[in-house]
Amino acid sequence: MTIEHTGSLSEWLRKTISKLKSHLAELGYSESTILRLDATWKELIVYCEAHQTTEFTVDLERRFVWERYGADLGDRDISQNVSRAIHMLDDYLQYGMVFKQSSITLKGFSPAYKELFEGFLDSLRQNQVAEGSIRTWRSRLFRFEYFLLESGIEHFHLLELHHVNTYIESLTGFSPGTVAATIRILGKLFDYALAKGYHYISYANALPCIRRTHKYRLPTVFSPDEVECILTQVDRSNPLGKRNYAILLLVTRLGLRISDVRLLRFENIDWKNKRISIHQQKTGIPLELPLLEDVGWAIIDYLQHGRPETDCPCIFVRHLAPFDVMSGSMQRLVSKLVSKAGIHVSTDKPIGMHSFRHSVATSMLNNGAELTDIAQTLGHATPESTQVYVSLNTEMLRRCALEVLL
């Protein structure tokens, strides 16, 4: 992509970004969000002026991101904000609009597409697609819907192949995995629309085939000693610290997903028999685990001395009004605690609550547990989902190695 412009590049960028910010304000983006995005755009203008560039290209953007933010891209928040700002600018330059983020459009689909899209998602549920996957697919459909409406396609039967091609072009810059997943969703949607009479043709066979290159990365794993060191960094003298400590124990001791911990309810805990019973958010599969002594006392400490007064049915809540269900992955908290503990993690490895889940599995594997037992503890749908942990066990890899014949 090379964008033509008149006058100096920096001046043209300033005017374009000014229009983009007005466009975002009209879409309902908050002032704080626009200011956060504008910080990246200002840096881009400074970069263009310093390098005296005259053409605005994708390569220019890539060089800017790497040279200006390369050292900080291991920070998930910085990486997402920079990526979002660049994608927004590209969308605005190429299509004259910005694709809304799913967090803004989660109120529901428009009347023109609600019946089709909700029916399509219901068909996925009937085919046993997990709710977590359906939420992801829903967010992709919001983006596609916004493109359709902004392109003047008020009814799905008016969609033509050139519209589909234009939308796929708009995915440039996303990871191959995201593009491939989006195209797969579109293919299923087109087949569904044809079967239900929303369109006279399915464009599924006309969609490009994206070859995904799997760049395998070992997950971040902490040793039992490192986990204990991380836990000691939590300040348990205040209500928020008591909450975070109890959450961390549920994740580090039992391997629960943070999504299941956030939505843990009082009725999920059988105090008499010391059991925790849930239906997992990701898979919908029931899971029952022992309520360990230290985990139970940490929850009690939070309930008695930390939890705000609220009618929220979930045990763990926000500590800023409204005192409702928590949101987010708590990735920033984990990164902060790991840093305070003096534990070095490579910048190309993600750090978050899921790291502790990997750690539980790896510790069990090192202690001789079978993959079926680990799968049962972690609530995996199949033992095959647990195979990744074999790669973290050096001794088991040695057993799997084939003898070299000379």
Residue 129 CB coordination number (10 Å):
14
- Whose structure tokens read 């594997």? 365
Q: What is 6-29 written as a DSSP string?
A: SS-HHHHHHHHHHHHHHHHHHHT-
Residue 368 CB coordination number (10 Å):
7
Structure tokens at 250: 């549920």
Taking the mean position of all CA atoms in its chain, how far away is CA 65? 21
The catalytic position among 138, 257, 262, 307 is 257
| Catalytic status, residue 380 | yes
3 state SS of 107: coil
Q: Are 90 and 1 in contact (CB under 8 A)?
A: yes
The catalytic position among 354, 358, 398, 399 is 354
Q: Are 156 and 116 in contact (CB under 8 A)?
A: yes
Residue 58 CB coordination number (10 Å):
14
The catalytic position among 135, 282, 319, 332 is 282
| Catalytic status, residue 332 | no
In Å, how far are 156, 165, 167, 337, 361 from 160, measured between CA atoms?
Answer: 9, 9, 11, 52, 49
| Catalytic status, residue 188 | no
The catalytic position among 47, 198, 302, 389 is 389
| Residue of 221, 231, 165 whose CA lies nearest to 352 | 221
| Catalytic status, residue 217 | no
| Catalytic status, residue 398 | no
| Catalytic status, residue 354 | yes
Residue 235 CB partners (closer than 8 Å, separation 6+): 241
The catalytic position among 100, 243, 307, 357 is 357
3 state SS of 317: strand
3 state SS of 289: strand
Q: Are 285 and 295 in contact (CB under 8 A)?
A: no
Taking the mean position of all CA atoms in its chain, how far away is CA 27? 23
Active site residues: 257, 282, 354, 357, 380, 389
